[in-house]
Amino acid sequence: MNILVCVKRVPAPGARINITADGQQVDTAFLGFTVSPHEECAVEQAVQLIEKHGGDVTVLTLGPAEAEEQLRTAVSTGATKAVLVPIDTTDWDPQKTSEALAKVIAELETANGKYDLILFGNESADSCGYQVGIRVALKLGRPIVNGAKGLEIESGVATVRRESDAGVEIYKLKTPACVGVKEGINLPRYPTMKGRLASKKVAITQSAATGETGGLKLITLQRPAERASNTKILGTGPEAASAVVDLLEELGVFK
Amino acid sequence: MSVLAVVEHDRGSITSASLGVLTAARSLAKQMNTKFEALTIGSNADALSELIAKYGASTVHQAHHSALTDFGPEAWGESVAQVVRKVSPTLVIGTGTERGHEVIAQTAARLNLPASMNCLEFDKGFTGAEPLKVVRARWGGSLLEEAEIDSPIKLVTLANHVVEPTEEPTSASVSVIDVQLDESVTQSFVQDRVERVAGVTLATSPVVVSGGRGVGSAEAFAPLEELAGLLNGVVGCSRAVTNNGWRNHTDQVGQTGTRIAPDVYIACGISGAIQHWVGAMASKNILAINTDAQANIVTKAGYAVIGDLHAVVPAISAEIRRRQNK
Ligand SMILES: Cc1cc2nc3c(=O)[nH]c(=O)nc-3n(C[C@H](O)[C@H](O)[C@H](O)COP(=O)(O)OP(=O)(O)OC[C@H]3O[C@@H](n4cnc5c(N)ncnc54)[C@H](O)[C@@H]3O)c2cc1C
Ligand SMILES: Nc1ncnc2c1ncn2[C@@H]1O[C@H](COP(=O)(O)O)[C@@H](O)[C@H]1O
């Protein structure tokens, strides 16, 4: 079984997100980078599936050259191949991104055969566009369901479990298919020693990016208005318990 | 020209997010001096037209096809795309929910149009002819983006809970549109569904007692469970906790977890990273219990206790019991 997972390099901010002076980007001067938690889970799900059925997991990203780091991390947790589509900014708009990804995937498939499954995150952590996976799937002519909290594959049918307000829903897609994965589907593993070695050795294939600029344009990033809070310190250590319970009584949650 | 609201419903029951979308679509249509129309998908939603008219739609388009008996993201997206081709709206608004984002993304992909999800504001001067300026939520709400949608038809979803639903009744006309769906889009329908049992959930509980990395282990959540029990609340957690396998992801609060808005949120041993904070910030009152007086959650919370949660939490439970027994 061959599975492709699309991941995006994003900053990993802590207590607050700072924006560059021109308002165009997150200020990453003191930040590490990661991929969206949904995508981490997509990689883990793909690795679990090949552990069961055999095959390869290829990770694919469109991003700056540094995104190699995220590809290597994915290999350290079990992915077997990595493809980088280098661009000279942090990201492209969703239409342009999906056009480029679809083209690269088509090329990879011409060379290596069709992927049984192509996995995405439900949404990327930074732009939260909820659309790149859907656009790519349509360009490739494959079915896609987002929000997967369960994913099994058996005799050419991918069974997707998804949660809604009403309950747990089951979808069945004939492979080749695409699925948008949500965090919680599994617990991603930590890199193993063997994985770390593999990640150092893996060859990162590069593929050229091409695409037309789409119609959604960023003007500026802004921080939402912060709620001013003057924290009332109720006390230190267990002695504060009485003040806490006074507060809970006052707030009406304990009578 | 018109503003088209795509109504989200579950087997014929309208979702609350749709009411905000109908209200927003009405006021945008007024501002643009154009018609406000709505779209329901599947004949099981036909009966909603009466309710939709209460929100002021002049026409309710009802997309019909024998396959449209339940939710299916591709069939819904294709239906919306066909209706959009037919009625040529200027602006299409969907719900800012999992299904809503998915349907608008499907529509956008099929029409090769841009789409902007989770919009909080629309340009007050927008007339319909020019590119539309919006403010949309990014980073799960930690950052806002002012963006411009430049396309003949603008597709957006409205961030949930942003617009308060208000009625303004009219008499709406109904137009049935038979859509054409082939097997490329009818595969991805809900095949089976296990209904949720009603009960208090993390999203709806008035009290949430959450634990973070500071709790230290799965077993050490027992005192938090106890306190939550005494307050008729539920236990939540941070991603550090789910990452460690101490608790299930269903308990996670935050950007990729659940967004909560309880009366009281008690955050124990949680630092308050931005991705956690966006899930908790709608809480009416926040009490942080942390050893670090400088932790982000402590400086942002309304109330705090500085100390070791392993001592503080049991002391609170003991005090509640003492008062209950009096
Ligand atoms: C894209 C993305 C999405 C994310 N989504 C989420 C999300 O949905 N939800 C989420 O929670 N996180 C999310 N995260 C992770 C987030 O950035 C933080 O890593 C995480 O919230 C940290 O969890 P924590 O506060 O429990 O741990 P830490 O940051 O390690 O904080 C532990 C805290 O416990 C305190 N402490 C330690 N011991 C004690 C003690 N004995 N008594 C009292 N206090 C003590 C410490 O002072 C510290 O403040 C996301 C990250 C990314 C990059
Ligand atoms: N630059 C990119 N490179 C690879 N995959 C991407 C990229 N951008 C988005 N994706 C994939 O598409 C999903 C949805 O992205 P978005 O539409 O931005 O929310 C992400 O979770 C990724 O799996």
> pLDDT digit string (tens) for B181-216?
999 999 888 888 888 777 788 999 999 999 999 999
- CA B164/CA B300 separation, integer angstroms: 27
CA distance B95 to B102: 10
pLDDT given at position A165: 81
Ligand lying nearest the CA atom of residue B255: 1
Query: What does the pLDDT look like over A127-153, one tens digit per residue?
Result: 999 999 999 999 999 999 999 999 999
> How far apart are the C-alpha atoms of B262 and B274, rounded to whole Å?
18
Cβ(A64)–Cβ(A89) below 8 Å: yes
Q: Which of A7, A8, A34, A236 to mutate to test the pocket of ligand 1 (most atoms within 8 A of CB)?
A: A34
Give helix B309-325 / helix B222-230 axis angle, nearest 10°: 30
Q: How high is the pLDDT of residue B138?
A: 97
Phi/psi at B62 (nearest 5 deg)? Answer: -115, 110
Gap between the Cα atoms of B133 and B23, Å rounded: 19
Using a 6 Å cutoff on CB, does residue A61 contact ligand 2? yes
Residue of B136, B139, B290, B300 for testing the chain A interface, max A β-carbons within 10 Å: B139
Ligand nearest to the CA of A10: 1
Non-local (6+) Cβ contacts of A234 within 8 A are A240, A243, A244, A247, B287, B303, B304, B305
| Pairing outcome for strands A32-34 and A117-121 | unpaired
Q: Nearest CA to B211 among B185, B184, B234?
A: B234
Is the CB of A94 within 6 Å of ligand 2?
yes
Give the pLDDT of residue B197. Answer: 77
Per-residue pLDDT, B303: 98
Q: DSSP letter at A46? A: H
Q: Phi first, then psi: what are they for B286, rounded to 5°?
A: -125, 130
| Angstroms from A131 CA to nearest CA on chain B | 5
Q: What average pLDDT does this structure show over B297-308? A: 97
pLDDT band at B326 (very low <50, low <70, confident <90, very high): confident
Which residue is associated with the tokens 């209950």? B324
Percent of chain B with pLDDT over 70: 100
Mean pLDDT of A42-46: 98
Q: Give the HSE-up count for residue A255: Cα atoms under 13 Å, Cβ half-sphere.
A: 1
Which of B77, B250, B300 has its CB closest to that of A229? Answer: B300
- Going by C-alpha positions, the residue among A16, A139, A249 that lies closest to residue B275 is A16
Q: What is the mean pLDDT of residues B249-254?
A: 96
Length of chain A, in residues: 255
Q: A128 contacts in B (CB within 8 Å)? A: 117-118, 137-140
User: Chain A: nearest CA to B251, how far in angstroms?
Assistant: 10
Report pLDDT for A228.
75
> How many other C-beta atoms can be found within 10 angstroms of the C-beta atom of residue A80?
18
Task: Give A152 to chain B, closest Cα distance, Å.
Answer: 15
Cβ within 8 Å, pair B307-A232: no
Query: How far, in Å, are A145, A174, B45 from residue A179 at the CA level?
Result: 5, 11, 27
pLDDT digits (tens, 9 = 90+) for B134-156: 999 999 999 999 999 999 999 99
Stretch (H or E) spanning A171? strand A167-174
For A94-102, what is the mean pLDDT? 98
Distance CA(B311)–CA(B301), nearest Å, equals: 20
Cα–Cα distance for residue pair A230/B304, rounded to 1 Å: 10
CB of A93 shorter than 6 A to ligand 2: no
- Smallest Cβ–Cβ distance between B195 and the set A14, A129, A166 belongs to A166
Strands of chain B, DSSP E: 2-6, 9-10, 13-14, 35-41, 59-64, 91-96, 115-122, 132-138, 143-149, 154-159, 173-178, 192-195, 207-211, 234-237, 264-268, 285-290, 303-306
Residue A225 — pLDDT band, cuts 50, 70, 90? confident
Place B102 in a pLDDT band, splitting at 50, 70 and 90: very high
Chain centroid to CA B16: how far? Answer: 10
Residue-wise pLDDT for A167-208, tens only, equals 899 999 999 999 999 999 999 999 999 999 999 999 999 999
On chain B, the residues whose CB falls within 8 A of the CB of A231 are 288, 298-304
Chain B, residues 5-44, CB within 8 A of chain A, namely 10-11, 15
d(CA B243, CA B229): 24
**What is residue B51's three-state secondary structure?**
helix
Counting Cβ atoms within 10 Å, is residue A100 exposed (0-12), middle (13-18) or buried (19+)? buried
> Which among B102, B148, B320 has the least Cβ separation from residue A254?
B320
A33-47, A220-234, B48-62, B312-326: segment of lowest average pLDDT: A220-234
Q: Please compute the mean of the pLDDT values over residues B50-66 and round it to a whole number.
A: 98
* A241 vs B144, B196, B316: nearest CB: B316
Q: A191 in contact with B at a CB cutoff of 8 Å?
A: no
Q: Is the dihedral of CA B278, B283, B285, B288 positive or negative?
A: negative
What is the distance in angstroms between the Cα of B195 and the nearest Cα belonging to chain A? 4
Return d(Cα B129, Cα B90) in angstroms, integer.
Answer: 8
Q: Which of B188, B118, B189 is nearest to A137 (CA)?
A: B188
Is A253 close to B206, i.e. CB distance below 8 A?
yes
Q: Which residues of A touch B275 (CB under 8 A)?
A: 13
Give the global pTM. 0.96
Over residues B64-89, the pLDDT tens digits come to 999 999 999 999 999 999 999 999 99
- Return the ligand number nearest the Cα of B299: 1
Question: What six digits make up the tokens of A142?
Answer: 């494959």
Amino acid B124: pLDDT: 97
Q: What is the mean pLDDT of chain B?
A: 96
